[in-house]
């Protein structure tokens, strides 16, 4: 649990500390002006930011990024100020998560598919000559519709609203039904978020993973069947578990050529396969058109939650309908962000939290 807001250092309204990544394994704190929220915007005092793979890969150099960069897109904090003419029922001091926004007017918004709205990634901000989602800074601005109430939820768990919203999006895109057979490939944080989300939909969740610790964590978070992929063939095992049909949904939460091949091979008729993870370098992936046609299977990608998914994620966290605290390994203050990132890139870690 994070410390309550009253124990946090006094809020400075003039300048803020921001951790700027100047290059690979090169991050330092800068003192920058606190931005003022404009019309329709909310200024959030960031309290906890979870380190996701984007920040890890940018820091380690595993994924190319544009520097200087201010990472941190899994953000919880409190409302510090509300801009003029802002349509919100939030009050200064309320706990919030910073999440998906949308313009409300474009084709994608008007058809309820706001992930594709240009404002969805209105997430990125300017910090001097640096850019980024900004969770590694003490304040950030967000348009009001991208700020979500967290109630009394702890900031660290609240920061996991964003990854949970991605998994809720996958479950919703899959239209999961009660009792359906769902396979999650890979039980890293995002695989585990998918376990949590699919369980909320009443699915039977089969997890395939090579690491026994991660399998144990999957069980703890609600997985109903575990497959140790080092010991048994996951495709055969899924067929056994499903009376030979295969799974109605497979979520590949690991970006790996072999996982993709296995995932396709374990799909049932009408089954749908979700590419949930990016892979660097990008592997090839091929489907058989006739087989896809004959069996009415489908493949699609999921990257990010829409507003309704983010709202649902914050409600699950706010009302204690899910417990994501096992996914938090350790917390570091902003001053130790380099140590936090070094910790986060170690294999076997779940989420590392930066407290601000």
CB of 117 to Zn ion, least distance (A): 3
**Residue whose CB is less far from Zn ion, 106 or 173:** 106
Which pair of tokens denotes residue 352? 């590392």
Q: List 131's β-bridge partners, or say none.
A: 69, 126
**Residue whose CB is less far from Zn ion, 162 or 181:** 162
Q: List 168's β-bridge partners, or say none.
A: none
Q: Which of 93, 95, 122, 128 is nearest to 109 (CA)?
A: 122
**Residue whose CB is less far from Zn ion, 204 or 214:** 214
Which residues make up the interface to Zn ion (CB under 5 A)?
A: 52, 102-103, 106, 109, 117, 163
**Residue whose CB is less far from Zn ion, 81 or 192:** 192
Phi, psi of 293 (to 5 degrees): -65, -50
CB of 186 to Zn ion, least distance (A): 15
**Residue whose CB is less far from Zn ion, 32 or 164:** 164
**Residue whose CB is less far from Zn ion, 184 or 267:** 184
Beta-sheet strands, E only, within 72-213: 74-82, 95-98, 125-127, 130-132, 139-143, 147-149, 181-185, 204-209
CB of 246 to Zn ion, least distance (A): 30
CB of 101 to Zn ion, least distance (A): 9
CB of 72 to Zn ion, least distance (A): 10
Beta-sheet strands, E only, within the chain: 15-23, 26-33, 41-50, 74-82, 95-98, 125-127, 130-132, 139-143, 147-149, 181-185, 204-209, 225-228, 247-252, 267-275, 298-301, 328-333, 351-355
CB of 25 to Zn ion, least distance (A): 20
Which pair of tokens denotes residue 171? 């479950």
């Amino acid at each position: 649990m994070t410390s309550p807001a009253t124990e946090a250092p006094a809020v400075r309204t003039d300048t803020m500390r921001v951790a700027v990544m100047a290059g690979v394994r090169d991050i330092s704190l800068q003192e920058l002006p606190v931005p003022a929220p404009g019309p329709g915007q909310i200024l959030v005092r960031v309290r906890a930011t979870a380190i996701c793979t984007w920040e890890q890969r940018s820091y380690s150099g595993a994924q190319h990024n544009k520097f200087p960069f201010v990472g941190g897109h899994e953000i919880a904090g409190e409302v510090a100020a509300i801009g003029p003419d802002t349509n919100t029922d939030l009050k200064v001091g309320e706990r919030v998560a910073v999440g998906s926004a949308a313009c409300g007017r474009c084709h994608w918004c008007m058809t309820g598919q706001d992930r594709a709205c240009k404002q969805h990634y209105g997430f990125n901000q300017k910090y001097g000559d640096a850019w980024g989602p900004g969770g590694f800074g003490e304040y950030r601005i967000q348009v009001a519709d991208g700020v979500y109430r967290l109630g009394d939820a702890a900031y660290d768990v609240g920061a996991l609203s964003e990854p949970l919203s991605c998994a809720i999006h996958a479950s919703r895109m899959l239209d999961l039904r009660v009792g359906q057979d769902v396979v999650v490939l890979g039980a890293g944080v995002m695989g585990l978020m998918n376990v949590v989300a699919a369980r909320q939909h009443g699915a039977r969740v089969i997890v395939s993973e090579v690491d026994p610790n991660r399998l144990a964590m999957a069980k703890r978070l609600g997985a109903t069947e575990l497959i140790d992929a080092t010991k048994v063939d996951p495709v055969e095992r899924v067929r056994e578990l499903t009376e030979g049909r295969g799974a109605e949904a497979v979520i590949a939460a690991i970006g790996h050529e072999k996982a993709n091949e296995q995932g396709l091979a374990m799909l049932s008729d009408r089954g749908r396969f979700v590419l949930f993870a990016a892979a660097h370098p990008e592997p090839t992936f091929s489907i058989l058109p006739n087989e896809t046609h004959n069996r009415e299977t489908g493949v699609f990608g999921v990257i990010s939650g829409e507003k309704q998914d983010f709202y649902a994620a914050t409600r699950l966290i706010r009302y204690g309908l899910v417990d994501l605290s096992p996914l938090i390994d350790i917390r570091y203050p902003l001053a130790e962000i380099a140590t936090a990132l070094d910790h986060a890139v170690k294999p076997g870690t779940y989420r590392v939290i930066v407290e601000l």
